[in-house]
Amino acid sequence: MTTTDQEKGAVIVTGASRGIGAAIAQKLADDGYGVVVNYAADEAGAESVVSAIRGRGGRAIAVGADVAAPDAVAAMFERAQRELGPLAALVNNAGMVGEQARIDEQDAAKLARLMQVNVVGPMVCAGHAVRAMSTAHGGTGGSIVNIASVAARAVPGVEGVVPYEATKGAVVTFSRGLSNEVAPEGIRVNSVSPGAVDTEMAAETEGSSQFATSSPLGRVGRPDEIADAVSWLVSPAASYVTGSDITVSGGV
């Protein structure tokens, strides 16, 4: 590990035990950051990602924390900075599709859980990140990247996901609003909106395969293609980019 890598500090990637989150964690570790590979339930998956990162000479730890549990989130941020150094970035990737059903068939408790994981959780995580990175709190600045979705535009193709679409719309709006709030304090905030990506989560979502073939490029995306966009947004190369939503969707 070089001095430059040490100076890059820590990055927390939520929901990083598989799919897009795992690809993001691996890419940011390759970029030289110490990475928290967060998971809610899949400890084995997270440890596998950590092993892969360490096998390439990177720094990473697996930390279990449900983003909908505020105390667990607070403990995760404390551990990240204690073991990996000052926080440099947060990637809010953890999310769920929820129950696929028409709105008149949805269960209120399941809707509440969807909102807690997809909207409230990222907000709570962002609050901790701001306290850690903001110059108003003694930090040196940093970056927050929120993973949204082209579903935020309610594009046709997948049935029964209106609540999910609403949560991703909230993520895009939150990112834009927060970017205005913390820009003077050295923090850039952006979102990335993937289209159909080849992940387990997509495979588990009914109707996603038909949606995937609708892209002008005629294929699904790869997790590493989303990770590349996140890597750029976190890096100094995007130092003049904040309040933006980067669409990585094959043209959808």
The Cα 163–Cα 106 span in angstroms is 9
For the chain, how many structural domains are there in total? 1
Q: Which domain holds residue 195?
A: 3-248
Q: Single out the catalytic residue among 33, 39, 164, 240.
A: 164
pLDDT of residue 1: 43
Residue-wise pLDDT for 174-193, tens only, equals 999 999 999 999 999 999 99
The Cα 181–Cα 185 span in angstroms is 8
- pTM of the entire structure? 0.93
Tell me what the mean pLDDT of segment 39-50 comes to: 98
Which CATH number does the domain housing residue 109 bear?
3.40.50.720
Percent of the chain with pLDDT over 90: 84
- Say if residue 210's pLDDT is above 80: no
Residue-wise pLDDT for 86-142, tens only, equals 999 999 999 999 999 999 999 999 999 999 999 999 999 999 999 999 999 999 999
* 33 catalytically annotated: no
Residue-wise pLDDT for 2-31, tens only, equals 445 557 999 999 999 999 999 999 999 999
